[in-house]
Amino acid sequence: MAEERAERDSRPGGPPTGAREIKVRLSDDIAKGVYANGVMVNHTREEFVLDFGMVVGASGIVVSRVVMSPVQAKRLAVALTDHLGRFEHAHGALDPTAGPSIRVGFQPSEEG
């Protein structure tokens, strides 16, 4: 697979200068979104796996799993850093250590 190289624009995580535009459709089911108040991140050499979960009380459930290449994971990290910076500039600094510490692990599925 050929890889295109292009100069990045001035916005961190922005599209390469001269990149072609891709139209993306959003189905009604996906547009609704899902609520997640936690994420577990794992990786192999080939991919990153993000399991988004909703924890309520003493239990939780994975509501969405996203698998991406390491390059896309890095692009996500750059975009999140940029957007978090903008958020904090507008609303004040966030403390990622605030709140209770929760240890999350997978349990066997109840499906047989």
Beta bridge partners of 51: 40, 65
- CA distance linking residue 65 with residue 62, whole number of Å: 7
Strand partners, 22: none
The verdict on pTM exceeding 0.85 is no
- Three-state helix/strand/coil letters over 19-33: CCCCCCCCCHHHHHC
From the list 74, 69, 68, 67, the residue with the least C-alpha distance to 8 is 74
Q: What are 78-103's pLDDT values in tens digits? A: 999 999 999 999 999 999 888 777 77
Q: With contact defined as beta carbons under 8 Å apart, do 56 and 38 qualify?
A: no
- Per-residue pLDDT tens over the stretch 9-55: 455 556 666 778 999 999 999 999 999 999 999 999 999 999 999 99
